[in-house]
Chain A
Amino acid sequence: MILPAAKPTTDKRELIAALGRFLPDDAILHATEDLRPYECDGLSAFRQTPMVVVLPRTIEQVQKIMRVCHERGAPVVARGAGTGLSGGALPLGDGLLLSLARFMSILDIDPANRTMRVQPGVRNLAISEAAAPFGLYYAPDPSSQIACTIGGNVAENAGGVHCLKYGLTVHNILKLKLVTMDGELLTFGADGLDAPGFDLLALATGSEGMLGVVVEVTVKLVPKPETARVVLAAFDDVEHAGAAVGAIIAAGCVPAGLEMMDNPAIRAAEAFVHSGYPVDAAAILLCELDGTAEAVADDIERVESIMARCGASATRVSRDEAERARFWAGRKMAFPAMGRISPDYYCTDGTIPRKHLPRVLRRIEALGRKYELPVANVFHAGDGNLHPMILYDANRPGELERVEGLGGEILKLCVEVGGTITGEHGVGVEKINQMCDQFSSAELTQFHAIKAAFDPEGLLNPGKAVPLLKRCAEYGGLHVHGGELPFPELERF
């Protein structure tokens, strides 16, 4: 994977000298063996050794680093914990990798206003742990929450299993400080519930490090529900499970989490963590209900009867916290569980309107047969966010190419039924071609114009998130609509 180089002429030695004027030695890495750990993020199929890695400790240092790079035309890629799955933090060989790992402080906890001000390198789970003494927590909980950092969560608009009820990162933050490519420090959002001007907080959230580097985040905290219980239901038919998802929501329930796994995923997870999943079921649903004990009891009764009506062959309700954790363990460990049964796996992230769930699952199965690759499905059923995992062996010649073909077709299918190529993992470098399936040339051009409003030289995380029209023309996937020509504005690029 070769990324477009911005200005390949940056003088490495001169850049290091300029950085050394305000950064201590231990904050600049440039020897090959020191750079190696930064060559990829959670998408390890793509690797690139950065020219330099910097590890600043203060906002002023970040501003100076940006100015130094801006003056020299050196591209910059920001990185949190590097757990991202789409290659958003993949470095550039001729650029600087800006690690925010040393921004690890919780700056302020304000229990009366239910907010916490944190540096971007604070881990997602550490926020909830610090809030726990006040009976509060931070709601978005991506599977990587033990390791992933809040700065990366903002960059990717991270979700998790509870976002049907509690929303994504964008719904759970109030204020951001970020540094733009020219070293300017800006504040988006406010300490109240809204801010004057454009909603730049929403624009920056999920912008994949293309618009600015997040250096401080004020998050909202919410009260811990008094009780949470999980209904585990088994189905003999995937379509019945899909129908039950719609029926629960149509009945006026908004579960805290509503997850589905198909048989291959159930088997792999059960073999790994022994959650007590029924290994013969075609699909299981995990439905978490939270609130006061009485309300949860009411809801459980309703959900169980809906599940039964939709053809569940068995349902079980978690009796205590330990059992609830066990029910979730299989789902949360589904990805590593795949790693045990297959040398490699590739996870996609398309999202579809829920009503198309049965149809899309059938189609994914057929596509798997066509490409002769097994697919296991886990998904955030309540949100329609699919994570089909394609199992393969990278050492077998030609298999990775087949995986990419199948993955691409699955995402195309998601777009066809009115969905999106990525629900929560981001585009990064991984899905950059599929952006051409989802957006028209005018839409992509609009994205580039927004990017230029923040970073006219295109030095921040270049080559990610939004493809150049030229790339789409080569990929041959540019979305055509309204009878417009596929790339009328090509000459602009």
Chain B
Amino acid sequence: MTAPHDANTDIKARVLDAIKRRAPLAIVGGGSKHFLGREAQGEPLILGEHRGVIDYHPEELVLTARAGTLLSELETLLAGHDQMFAFEPPHFGAAATLGGTIAANISGPRRAYAGFARDFVLGTHIVNGRGEILRFGGEVMKNVAGYDLSRLVTGAMGTLGVILDVSLKVLPRPRETITLMQPSSPRAAVEKLCRWAAAPLPISASYIEDEHLYVRLSGTPSALAEARATIGGDVLDDADKFWLEVREQRRPFFGGDAPLWRISLPPAAILDLPGEQVIEWGGALRWLKTDAPATTIRAAAAKHGGHAMLFRSPVRSPEPYHPLPAPLMQLHRRIKAAMDPYGIFNRGRMYAEF
């Protein structure tokens, strides 16, 4: 592990200086999620030096670490105690940090069955746009004192403040895992997944690609034996490598230069769009490679009560995130002003408007 270092004071000083000069800051962790969203305007504020575990007691199921700590180091530490981040965060690069993961609220294959990053956030220290170090939430499982600002900054892409450290709920690793594979059309596969999700089965991930359905089961040996009979299919060898490829978008599908759309939908929705598709999260997450216009894709997602984000594209889009209705955008701007009155942090990182 790299040596811990507390840079709270330096970060706060940098923010105060930026406020004084009204100079916007672009917050950088490991830079692994730089491709997500829009380009932030401003001088880089690098958090990679602000790292290290602050507190970890396995029997409390809580880990607190500084934002610049490498995700891989934390996962190694947890694995040593048979625990894990249950939201199975993608890294998208060896430099991925805890802070970036939380700022982007990014979650992997287990998400539909365990929850996403924000579900596991218990508390944070942040520097707000007045240069104050504030603590919200805590290190306990239940906490309803004050507004839930630690979950508000999760997924805000650094636009509301600098995340200094995060306390996360962690979970025991399942005792056993197997992956089953069966041929299936995507539509039939989604139907099966929706049916299985309504039964108490220990499913921990699903993936549909090339007329094949992959289902991961995690739990006690007896629970797996029983579920295996219900789900059917062949056992996939080297399944850990497979799910790592899914998580990190290293499957061949994710290669190439075509724009890659991330479409979030109710799982049973039937999406009729041209292009090549893979499906995760029991049907709730569709990855679509297509040259169809953004308006068509977004209208199709919105029709089902979902949304569409341009996740990767050869040229950075000016509007990667699904547009917000006007009253909601106004509220976003007021919230931004409440947290960051001088507009210092990650200006334009999510939407051009703030």
Q: Hey, which bits of chain A sit against chain B, CB under 8 A?
A: 110-115, 134-136, 156-157, 159, 163-164, 167-168, 170-171, 175, 184, 186-187, 190-200, 202-203, 205-207, 210-211, 223-226, 246-247, 249-250, 252-254, 291-292, 294-295, 297-299, 351-355, 380, 382-385, 418-427, 431, 435, 438-440, 442-443, 446-447, 449-454, 465-466, 482
Could you say which of B145, B171, B222 contacts A427, with CB atoms under 8 Å apart? Answer: B145
B4 within 8 A of A: no
Q: How far is the CA of A210 from the CA of B146 in the complex (A)?
A: 11
Q: What residue of chain A has the Cβ atom nearest to residue B320's Cβ?
A: A196
A200 & B145 in contact (Cβ 8 Å cutoff): no
Complex: how many Å from CA A198 to CA B324? 10
Contact A253 B172 (CB under 8 A): yes
Query: Could you say which of B61, B154, B156, B264 contacts A193, with CB atoms under 8 Å apart?
Result: B264
Whether A423 lies near B144 (C-beta < 8 A) is yes
Residue of A nearest to B309 (CB): A196
CB neighbours of B325 from chain A (8 A): 187
Sample 15 A-B pairs with CB under 8 A, ordered by A number: A168-B142, A192-B305, A192-B306, A193-B112, A196-B321, A198-B152, A199-B152, A202-B148, A254-B172, A292-B202, A380-B142, A443-B136, A450-B335, A453-B334, A454-B331
Asked if B219 and A291 sit within 8 Å, CB to CB, the answer is yes
B199 contacts across to A, CB distance below 8 A: 135, 223
Interface residues contributed by chain B, number (CB under 8 Å): 88
Instruction: Specify which chain B residues have a CB less than 8 angstroms from the CB of A385 in the assembled complex.
Output: 140-142
Interface centre among A191, A207, A354, A426, by most chain B C-beta atoms within 10 angstroms, is A191
Is A198 in contact with B335, judged by CB distance below 8 angstroms?
yes
Chain B residues with Cβ under 8 A from A252's Cβ? Answer: 82, 172-173, 175
Q: In the complex, are the beta carbons of B155 and A198 less than 8 A apart?
A: yes
Q: Which 4 A-B pairs have the closest CB atoms?
A: A191-B305, A294-B222, A252-B172, A423-B142
B59 within 8 A of A: yes
Q: Say yes or no: B59 contacts A247, CB within 8 Å.
A: yes
1/0 contact trace for B180-220 toward A, CB 8 Å? 00000000000000100111111000000000000000011
* A210–B148 CA distance with the chains assembled, in angstroms: 13
Interface members, chain B 58-82 (any A CB < 8 Å): 58-62, 82
Name the contact of B222 in the complex, choosing from A135, A297, A354, A421 (C-beta under 8 A). Answer: A297
Which residues of B are found within 8 Å of A192, using beta-carbon distances?
264-266, 284-285, 304-307
Which segment, of B38-46, B126-134, B288-296, faces chain A? B126-134
Q: List residues of chain B with CB within 8 A of the CB of A299.
A: 220
**Docked complex: B307-351 residues within 8 A CB-CB of A:** 307, 309, 321-325, 327-328, 331-332, 334-335, 337-339, 350-351
Cβ-defined contact, A196 with B198, below 8 A: no
Additional 18 contacts, C-beta under 8 A, given A135-B198, A171-B119, A253-B172 = A112-B268, A186-B331, A196-B309, A198-B335, A205-B148, A250-B58, A250-B59, A252-B175, A291-B220, A353-B62, A383-B141, A418-B138, A423-B143, A442-B128, A446-B132, A446-B149, A450-B147, A450-B338
| B265 CB contacts on chain A under 8 angstroms | 191-192
**B202 to chain A: which residues have CB within 8 Å?**
291-292, 295
CA of A184 to CA of B175 in the docked complex: distance in angstroms? 49
Across the interface, which residues of B come within 8 angstroms of A171, CB to CB?
115, 119
Expressed in whole angstroms, the Cα–Cα distance for A404 and B345 within the complex equals 43
Task: Establish whether residues B138 and A420, one from each chain, have CB atoms under 8 Å apart when the complex forms.
Answer: yes
Q: Which residue of B lies closest to A449 (CB)?
A: B338
Given A355-B57, A453-B335, are A190 and B307 also a contact pair (CB < 8 Å)?
Answer: yes
